[in-house]
Structure 1
Amino acid sequence: MDIVFTSLILLLTVALSGVLMGLLPIALPKPLVQIAIGAGLALPGFGLHVSLDPELFFVLFIPPLLFADGWRMPRREFRRLGVPIAALALGLVMVTVVLVGYFVHWMIPAVPLAAGFALGAVLSPTDAVAVSAISGGAPFPPRLLHILQGEALMNDASGLVALRFAIAAALTGSFSLADATLSFVLIAAGGLATGVGLAWSFSQVRRYLTRWRADDTSSHVALLMLIPFAAYLLGESLGVSGILSAVAAGMTLNSVNTLRGELATRMQTNSLWSILEFVFNGIVFVLLGLQMPKILGHASDSMREIGDGGWWHLGLFIAAITGVLLVTRYLWIWVLLRLMLLRARLKNRDTPRLSTRIIAITTLAGVRGAITLAAVLSLPLAVEDGTAFPARGVLVFIAAGVILTSLTLGSLCLPPLLRSVKLPDDDPRAREERHARTQAAREAIKALEAEQKRHTQDAEDPDSTLHAEVSARVMAGYKPRLDPDNDAEDSRRIRRGFDIEKQLRLTALRAEREELYRLRQNADINDETLRRILADLDLTEASLLGPTHRH
Structure 2
Amino acid sequence: MESIAIVLVLLLAVVVSSMLVRLSPVGVPAPLVQIALGAAISVGTGSSITLEPEVFFLLFLPPLLFLDGWRIPKEGLFRDKGVILELALGLVVFTVLGVGLFIHLMIPSMPLPVAFALAAILSPTDPIAVSAIAARVPVPKRLMHILEGESLLNDASGLVCMRFAVAAALTGSFSLTAALGTFVWLALGGVAIGIAVTWAVMVAKDAVSRRIGEDTSVQILISLLIPFAAYLLAEHLGCSGILAAVAAGITMSYVEQRGQVMAATRVRRSVVWDTVQFALNGVIFVILGEQLPGIVAGAAEVVRETGHHDPLWLVVYVVAINLALGILRVSWVWVSLRLTLYRAAQKGLTPPRPHRRLVIATSLAGARGAITLSGILTLPLAMPDGAPFPARDLAIFLAAGVIIVSLVAASVGLPPLLKNLELPPETEEATKEDAARIEAAEAAIRALEARMEQADGARETDAEIGARLLEIYRQRIEGRTKTGSEAEELRRMEAAERQLRLTAIRAEREAIFKASRARRLPDDIARKLIREIDLAEARWGA
TM-score by length of structure 2 reads: 0.84
**Amino acid of the residue matched to residue 167 of structure 1?**
V
Contact 2:322 2:406 in 1 (8 A): yes
Structure 1 position 340, deviation (Å): 0.7
For the residue of structure 1 that corresponds to 2:349, the secondary structure is coil
Aligned partner of 1:245 in structure 2 is 244
**Amino acid of the residue matched to residue 340 of structure 1?**
T
Which of 465, 472, 480 is the matching residue for 2:475? Answer: 480
> Aligned equivalents of 2:304 and 2:201: distance in 1?
53
Tell me whether 266-275 or 103-112 shows the greater mean CA deviation: 103-112
Aligned partner of 1:314 in structure 2 is 314
Aligned partner of 1:142 in structure 2 is 141
Deviations 1:52-89 (A, max 9, x none): 33222221122112211111112222222222222111
Moved over 6 A (4+): 538-543
Q: Aligned pair in 2 of structure 1 residues 240, 84: CA closer, same or farther (>3 Å)?
A: same
> Aligned equivalents of 1:383 and 1:463: distance in 2?
80
**Amino acid of the residue matched to residue 37 of structure 1?**
L
* Aligned residue runs from structure 1 range 157-306, under 5 A: 157-257=156-256, 259-306=259-306
For the residue of structure 1 that corresponds to 2:308, the secondary structure is coil
Deviations 1:197-221 (A, max 9, x none): 0011012102211221242221122
Contact 1:318 1:401 in 2 (8 A): yes
> Aligned equivalents of 2:349 and 2:32: distance in 1?
43
**Amino acid of the residue matched to residue 52 of structure 2?**
D
Q: Aligned pair in 2 of structure 1 residues 14, 428: CA closer, same or farther (>3 Å)?
A: farther
**Amino acid of the residue matched to residue 266 of structure 2?**
R
Aligned partner of 2:465 in structure 1 is 470
- Gaps in structure 2 of 5+ consecutive residues: 478-530, 537-542
Structure 1 position 333, deviation (Å): 0.9
Deviations 1:130-184 (A, max 9, x none): 2222224324211111111111111122111111211222222221111111211
> Aligned equivalents of 2:425 and 2:149: distance in 1?
26
> Aligned equivalents of 1:231 and 1:166: distance in 2?
24
Q: Aligned pair in 2 of structure 1 residues 478, 275: CA closer, same or farther (>3 Å)?
A: same
Aligned partner of 2:31 in structure 1 is 31
Deviations 1:335-357 (A, max 9, x none): 11110111111111122114321
Structure 1 position 224, deviation (Å): 1.5
Q: Aligned pair in 2 of structure 1 residues 192, 8: CA closer, same or farther (>3 Å)?
A: same
**Amino acid of the residue matched to residue 434 of structure 2?**
R
Q: Aligned pair in 2 of structure 1 residues 466, 380: CA closer, same or farther (>3 Å)?
A: closer
* Aligned residue runs from structure 1 range 331-350, under 5 A: 331-350=331-350
Aligned partner of 2:113 in structure 1 is 114
Deviations 1:113-144 (A, max 9, x none): 22221221121111222222222432421111
Q: Aligned pair in 2 of structure 1 residues 293, 215: CA closer, same or farther (>3 Å)?
A: same
* Aligned residue runs from structure 1 range 359-438, under 5 A: 359-425=359-425, 428-438=428-438
Aligned partner of 2:97 in structure 1 is 98
**Amino acid of the residue matched to residue 262 of structure 1?**
M
Structure 1 position 95, deviation (Å): 0.9
Q: Aligned pair in 2 of structure 1 residues 351, 312: CA closer, same or farther (>3 Å)?
A: same
> Aligned equivalents of 2:68 and 2:293: distance in 1?
31
> Aligned equivalents of 2:261 and 2:322: distance in 1?
48
Contact 1:306 1:391 in 2 (8 A): no
For the residue of structure 2 that corresponds to 1:239, the secondary structure is coil
For the residue of structure 2 that corresponds to 1:201, the secondary structure is helix
For the residue of structure 2 that corresponds to 1:479, the secondary structure is helix
> Aligned equivalents of 1:276 and 1:114: distance in 2?
34
Contact 2:300 2:314 in 1 (8 A): no
Tell me whether 379-388 or 346-355 shows the greater mean CA deviation: 379-388
2:458 corresponds to 1:450: no
Q: Aligned pair in 2 of structure 1 residues 374, 261: CA closer, same or farther (>3 Å)?
A: closer
* Aligned residue runs from structure 1 range 503-518, under 5 A: none
For the residue of structure 1 that corresponds to 2:473, the secondary structure is coil
Structure 1 position 2, deviation (Å): 1.2
> Aligned equivalents of 1:185 and 1:539: distance in 2?
50
Aligned partner of 1:64 in structure 2 is 63
Q: Aligned pair in 2 of structure 1 residues 445, 123: CA closer, same or farther (>3 Å)?
A: same
RMSD over aligned CA atoms reads: 2.3
> Aligned equivalents of 1:17 and 1:391: distance in 2?
31
Aligned partner of 1:505 in structure 2 is none
Aligned partner of 2:72 in structure 1 is 73
Structure 1 position 7, deviation (Å): 1.5
For the residue of structure 2 that corresponds to 1:220, the secondary structure is helix
Contact 1:305 1:391 in 2 (8 A): no
> Aligned equivalents of 1:468 and 1:136: distance in 2?
47
For the residue of structure 2 that corresponds to 1:328, the secondary structure is helix
Deviations 1:9-61 (A, max 9, x none): 12222122222223335321111111111111111x34453233322222112
Q: Aligned pair in 2 of structure 1 residues 280, 390: CA closer, same or farther (>3 Å)?
A: closer
Contact 2:57 2:378 in 1 (8 A): no
Contact 1:97 1:120 in 2 (8 A): yes
Q: Aligned pair in 2 of structure 1 residues 63, 539: CA closer, same or farther (>3 Å)?
A: farther
Q: Aligned pair in 2 of structure 1 residues 38, 60: CA closer, same or farther (>3 Å)?
A: same
**Amino acid of the residue matched to residue 186 of structure 1?**
W
> Aligned equivalents of 1:196 and 1:415: distance in 2?
39
TM-score by length of structure 1 reads: 0.82
> Aligned equivalents of 2:326 and 2:196: distance in 1?
38
Q: Aligned pairs, how many?
A: 482
For the residue of structure 2 that corresponds to 1:69, the secondary structure is helix
Q: Aligned pair in 2 of structure 1 residues 19, 379: CA closer, same or farther (>3 Å)?
A: closer
Deviations 1:492-534 (A, max 9, x none): xxxxxxxxxxxxxxxxxxxxxxxxxxxxxxxxxxxxxxxxxxx
Q: Aligned pair in 2 of structure 1 residues 292, 32: CA closer, same or farther (>3 Å)?
A: same
Contact 1:372 1:399 in 2 (8 A): yes
Q: Aligned pair in 2 of structure 1 residues 52, 371: CA closer, same or farther (>3 Å)?
A: farther
Contact 1:52 1:287 in 2 (8 A): no
Structure 1 position 540, deviation (Å): 9.4
Tell me whether 368-377 or 230-239 shows the greater mean CA deviation: 368-377
Q: Aligned pair in 2 of structure 1 residues 539, 480: CA closer, same or farther (>3 Å)?
A: farther
Contact 1:70 1:153 in 2 (8 A): yes
Aligned partner of 2:18 in structure 1 is 18
